[in-house]
Structures are given as structure tokens and as C-alpha cells.
Homo-oligomer: A and B are copies of this chain.
């Protein structure tokens, strides 16, 4: 098994990425190899500074970097030797079995769709985020920004993707899928949620538990919350801002501790033909480590095959 990591992605790259790779490497089993994609000289120098043998990794040297502000499609096209473009090329060729990066989210999405491509039957891939639950454990919300406008059948599919992720990767049995809405009753909502509700109510594809509201994000009445990417992105960034506020105010609480994105590693891109994880731009070594382990977990649990089967 070869796990690809973009060491040029993220605000603290390549250092945070390489330090995270060291920590991830220590947890790998025999036959599992981490492939560092990016500036090899920089990586080797960081490894040597940290007395960690470069022999623990494979390296694929690249000469270009897609920065955070770049236009995703243009950047992928115009920088074929960027770590992200090369990573996706390798993923497509199965030289690596998963690819993760804390770099340009748009480029990671575009790269996924252009290279490994969307799984047949999936209308739109989605980005997910992990949410800590007040009573412990975690939940999933999707989409958090890949699709600003969604149709009801797209949201229905997000329910399938989220359910499989929750069950396979996070070990939640028979996950409870909820629809983000502005009221609990079936008839509540905007045109999108009103049209989606009956599709979800009548589906046998997952365990639909009805509408939830903004206040239910951290509650235990759901495992997976489905919404369009506009709503999900607003929720994600608002929730993050609360975490940042609790940090700045030095409010200590185990619930807030579990907000820490570092623990979760990143957001899986669901619905493409290989495991892809996008990390937070500010990813620390700990976050990078967990991003790598999440992508490994997506390989080991055969998530992609399960999704393919569900959409056959």
C-alpha cells in the first residue's frame, strides 16, 4: 500500500507536512509506505534536522507549487509538475492508493474530478467535515463547499455517501442520516429541502431520521447531516469560529477540545474513484499525521469499493 502526501500544501508547508509525515510513518505497518510528493531536497533536509531517515519514505520530486489563492482549474492545467497535479496523476495510475493535501481545496476537488474521476452513478462528489458531538463521539456533515447549488437527487446521494463514510471509516453502525432544515416538520424548508424530504423519507438506501435544525449540529439525534454546500460551508466556518473564540478566551472544556480539526485530519472528498483527503490550510504536523491516517483508513476499509457498489 502506498499513501501519497503532498508536502507542499498548507500554510506551514513543507515543514509541517514533513513533520506530520514522520509521525504518520511511525504508525504504519509493514508493506505500507508513505510517498512524499514535492520538493525532495527540502524534505530530506527537514528529515535530517529531525534525525529521521529519508529511507522511511519514497519521494517524488516536483518543481511547481499550487498556492492557496490560485484558480483551481487554471492552476492544475498550468502547473503539471505541481505536487497536486503529480499526486493526482499517480493516484490515477494507481502508483499511490490514496492522496491527501492541506493545499488549495479547489485544486484538490478539480484534480479529483479530472484525474481519478467521479464514480459512475454519482452526480456530484461532496466534501465532508467531522463534527464533535456533545455527548461524545462524532458526526459528519456534507456537503461543506464542493457544490454551492444542489438538486434534491444530489442531496439524496450525499445521504448515501455520508452513510457509507460514517459506517466504514468511523464505525458508526446503521448511521442516522438527517436533512438540515429550518423546522422539524416534513413540510418545512426551502424549495430544495421540501423536495428532498420525500426522497429521503422513501429511500431504502440509508436510515433517514428526518429534518434537523442548526441547533442540532452537536446533538445526538443524527450521525450524518446532509445539506447543500453553501449551507454546509457557512455552518462549518461558523462552527470553526466558535472553536477559535474558545481558544482565544482560553476556555477549557473537553467538548471544545474535540473541536480541534487536528484530530480529524481533514475532509474526505467522497464520490471519486480513489481516497482523497483535503486538510485544513493551517494544518499542523498533528493534523497532517491524522490526514494521512484517515486516507489510509479509507483504503483499508474499502470505502471506495463500497461506494461504487452502492451506485452500481
Contacts and interface: CB of A to CB of B under 8 A. Distances in A.
B148 A189 contact: yes
A157 to B, nearest CB: 18
Nearest to A148: B190
A145 B193 CA distance: 14
A99 B231 CA distance: 33
Interface in A146-188: 148-149, 180, 182
Contacts of A242: 242
Contact of A215 (B145, B219, B237): B237
Contacts of A244: 215
A237 B251 contact: no
Given A148-B190, A249-B255, A255-B249, A218 B241 contact: yes
- A interface: dominant SS: helix
A253 B149 CA distance: 38
Given A251-B253, A253-B249, A233 B134 contact: no
Interface of A: 134, 145, 148-149, 180, 182, 189-191, 193, 213-219, 228-231, 233-242, 244-246, 249, 251, 253, 255
26 contacts: A148-B182, A148-B189, A182-B233, A182-B234, A182-B237, A190-B228, A190-B229, A213-B233, A213-B234, A214-B235, A214-B238, A214-B239, A215-B237, A215-B238, A215-B240, A215-B241, A215-B244, A218-B241, A218-B245, A234-B234, A235-B238, A242-B242, A245-B255, A249-B253, A249-B255, A251-B251
